[in-house]
Amino acid sequence: MLRKFSRAMKGLAVFTAMLMAFSTAQARTLDEIISDGTVRIGVHPNIPPLSFRDQDGNWQGWDIEMGKLLADKIGAEVEFVPVEWKARIPSLISDQIDFSMAALTRNSSRAKVIDFTVPIHTENLAVLTTDKAGKISSWKDLDKKGLTMVGCRGCFPVNWMKTNMPNVEVLIVDSGSDMVRTIAQGRADGMVANLEWHKRFTENFKDVNWVIIDDVIRTSYCAIGVAKGNSSLRDFLNIALYEIQIAGKHNEIWESFWGMPPLVKIEADPYF
């Protein structure tokens, strides 16, 4: 999986470099956005509770509310532009959007072709289980013969569990909702995943006492992506984010959509 990820990142770098070479589009500066009166924000079209459309077609979600706050600080109207995962960076380079949200994880490969703001939220690899597992303080406590962990076919945590939890049986299913259902039905004792995206599935099983183990395995930091070299917009967003984060507004909005605090909170940092 790590090799596939590395190849994917190399492919992304080549693809985006080609876009940069052949595209004449220039990213709009902060002044140009203010002058135009509209800021274009890239968001995923359907990944609740991050960003999605309600029954009336209106945008909802954490990215949406944060985007509105940032647009208000810019002094511009906001246009949310739907971008799938693979389109986030190409959309920046081709000037289809001014900045991208959509759970854009920072890494060195991406930083070669776009710029990042300070982090806006985290994604956390952790264990979801139930109270039937007993007193558990670490994921290591679940590495026992006779226990079953469930994983998603083709997903990174499956290989991670096979390497780091060699004593458990790993049951493979097709999706995140299947993973949660398998635990609720008693066919597995727990799962390892980026748990921020699975709470909506647990809500379908209100009779189950779900437990998230505090011992987070890995934390990734998501930030706002801007076009390479667009320092006027990036620097402004960093200051605007500090104002939002020092007031705790980002965590307040997070809890309103996820129904729980972030597993690892982003703290406001005046230095960037």
Q: Which domains does the chain have, with CATH numbers?
A: 2-122+220-258 (3.40.190.10), 124-212 (3.40.190.10)
Asked if residue 3 has pLDDT above 70, the reply is no
Q: What was the pLDDT predicted at 233?
A: 99
Q: What is the pLDDT of residues 81-137, one digit of tens each?
A: 999 999 999 999 999 999 999 999 999 999 999 999 999 999 999 999 999 998 899
- DSSP output for the chain: -HHHHHHHHHHHHHHHHHHHHH----PPPHHHHHHHTEEEEEE-SSBTTTBEE-TTS-EESHHHHHHHHHHHHHTSEEEEEE--GGGHHHHHHTTS-SEE-SS-B--HHHHTTEEEEEEEEEEEEEEEEEGGG-S-SSGGGG--TT-EEEEETT-HHHHHHHHH-TTSEEEEESSHHHHHHHHHTTS-SEEEEEGGGTHHHHTT-TTS-EEE-S--SEEEEEEEEEETT-HHHHHHHHHHHHHHHHTTHHHHHHHHHHSS--SSPPPP-S--
pLDDT in tens, 27-65: 999 999 999 999 999 999 999 999 999 999 999 999 999
